[in-house]
Amino acid sequence: MPRQPSAAVRKFIAGRRFVAVAVASFVVTSVLCALTSQRQRAQHVATNVTVDVYDVTTPIRQYGRCVRLRTSPSPLVCVHDPNVDRYVSAAILAGDIWESDAVRCFQYLLRLDEGLGVVDIGANVGEYSLLAAAMGRHVVAVEARLVHVQMMHRAVVDDRVGALVTLVHNAVSDRRDWAALYARRDNPGATKAVPARRPCRRQTRCPPSDQYVRTVTLDDLLAVIPFSRALVKFDIEGDEAKVALQSTRFLQTLCVPYILMEWLFAASASTDESPLALLDYMRRHGYRPMTVTRTRLDWRRWRHWPDNVLWVLASAPL
C-alpha cells in the first residue's frame, strides 16, 4: 500500500497549487486585457469631446493646509479646515486615514498588480489619487469642485508627481451638459452634481459661479486616460448607476479588473436607473461583489452591503 504524504508535504503541495492558480488567473486577465486593448484602444475616442484637463502650469492657489498622509508611502494632501470639513479633512488632520479599510484595500490591489493605473472618479481632496501617485502609478483624478482640483494641484507640484497625475475638472454624468454643485455645509466632499443651465437665471437658490461645472460621460474620459489597465474608484454620491448604465465603451476599451465603489448612496439612488439595474450591469460585465476586506457578498442582500464595495472581475487574482 503506497505511503500517504505527511501533513507538511500536503500543505506544501496545496501552497504550490494556490500559487499556480493565482499566477494563472493573473496571466489570463493580462492576456484578455491586452487583446481588448489591441482591438479597441485605437478607436475609442470621440473627436468632439472636451474633457477639462486642469493646467498644472498655472500658479498654485494656496488653499488649505497640507499634511502628510499616515500611509506608506506618505503623500502630501491638502485639506480643509476641520470646521469646514468634519469628515475627510478632520480625520487626516487628526492623523487618521479616512475610510482606512478601503484605503488599505486600494493599496493591496495596486501592489497585487503593478501594471494598473488609477481612474479616481470623485477624487475629493485626492486621498486615493495622491497615494497612488506616491506609489508610482499613473492617475487620472476627476473632480467636480474647482477648489479640490486646486488643492490637489498644490500637492502634486509640491510632491513632484506632476508627470504621473492628470487632473480633470468635470463632473461625470450620463450626458454632456452643465451641472450646479451642492454640498453639505460640513462635508464638502459630499457634493451632488445637479443638471442645470449656466448661468443660473433664477433669483434664488443659485450656487456661486465657481460651483458650475461641465459634465462628461464615463466614455469621454477615455480620451485622457494614458494607460490600458486600471483600478477605478467611484464616489459620486449616488450617480454611479446612471453613469455606468450610459457607458457603452469604457469597460470594453479599458481593462478594469477592480472597481472600488461607494455603495452607501448607490444603493439608494433616487434615479430612474435602480440599484437592481446597476447590479445587473456589473453581473453582465463579469464582476463579483466583495467587501474591502475581500469577503464575498451575497447578491440578494445588496440592501445590507457595507458603505464601500469592491467589484472584482471573475478572472482577476485577489
Residue 67: predicted pLDDT: 97
The secondary element (H helix, E strand) that includes residue 78 is strand 76-79
The secondary element (H helix, E strand) that includes residue 127 is helix 127-134
At residue 10 the predicted structure's pLDDT band, cuts being 50, 70 and 90, is low
- Please compute the mean of the pLDDT values over residues 231-249 and round it to a whole number: 91
Residue 21: predicted pLDDT: 44
Residue 187: predicted pLDDT: 86
Residue 138: is its pLDDT beyond 90? yes
Residue 55: is its pLDDT beyond 80? yes
> What digits encode the pLDDT tens for the residues 258-291?
999 999 877 775 554 578 999 999 999 999 999 9
Is residue 318 a part of any domain in this protein?
A: no
Is residue 4 a part of any domain in this protein?
A: no
Residue 308: is its pLDDT beyond 80? yes
Residue 47: predicted pLDDT: 43
DSSP 160-205: T-TTTEEEE--EE-SSSEEEEEEEETTEEEEEEEEE--SS--SSSS
Residue 39: predicted pLDDT: 42
Q: Strands 139-142 and 117-121: what pairing?
A: parallel
How many domains, in total, are found in the chain?
Answer: 1
At residue 100 the predicted structure's pLDDT band, cuts being 50, 70 and 90, is very high
Residue 13: is its pLDDT beyond 60? no
- Please compute the mean of the pLDDT values over residues 291-313 and round it to a whole number: 96
Q: 0.75 cut: is pTM over it? A: yes
Question: Is 298 strand, coil or helix?
Answer: coil
Which of 279, 285, 277 has its CA nearest to residue 36?
Answer: 285
What is d(CA 274, CA 240) in angstroms, rounded to the nearest whole number?
Answer: 10
At residue 40 the predicted structure's pLDDT band, cuts being 50, 70 and 90, is very low
Residue 29: predicted pLDDT: 53
Is residue 2 a part of any domain in this protein?
A: no
More confident residue, 28 or 303: 303
Is residue 305 a part of any domain in this protein?
A: yes
Q: Strands 171-172 and 177-184: what pairing?
A: unpaired
- Please compute the mean of the pLDDT values over residues 308-312 and round it to a whole number: 98
Average pLDDT of the chain, as a whole number: 85
DSSP 156-168: HHHTT-TTTEEEE
Residue 87: is its pLDDT beyond 90? yes
Q: Which amino acid is at 4?
A: Q
Q: What is the CATH number of the domain that holds 251?
A: 3.40.50.150
Other CB atoms within 10 Å distance of the CB of residue 256 = 20
> What digits encode the pLDDT tens for the residues 149-204?
999 999 999 999 999 999 999 999 999 999 988 877 888 888 888 888 766 666 55
Residue 24: is its pLDDT beyond 70? no
Is residue 247 a part of any domain in this protein?
A: yes
> Sign (positive/negative) of CA torsion 236, 241, 243, 248?
positive
Residue 277 lies in domain: 9-313
More confident residue, 86 or 211: 86
What is d(CA 116, CA 40) in angstroms, rounded to the nearest whole number?
Answer: 18
Residue 314: is its pLDDT beyond 90? yes
Residue 64: predicted pLDDT: 76
Question: Is 258 strand, coil or helix?
Answer: strand
Residue 205: predicted pLDDT: 63
Is residue 274 a part of any domain in this protein?
A: yes
Other CB atoms within 10 Å distance of the CB of residue 249 = 17
Which of 114, 121, 137, 133 has its CA nearest to residue 76?
Answer: 133
Residue 210: predicted pLDDT: 59
- Please compute the mean of the pLDDT values over residues 50-78 and round it to a whole number: 92
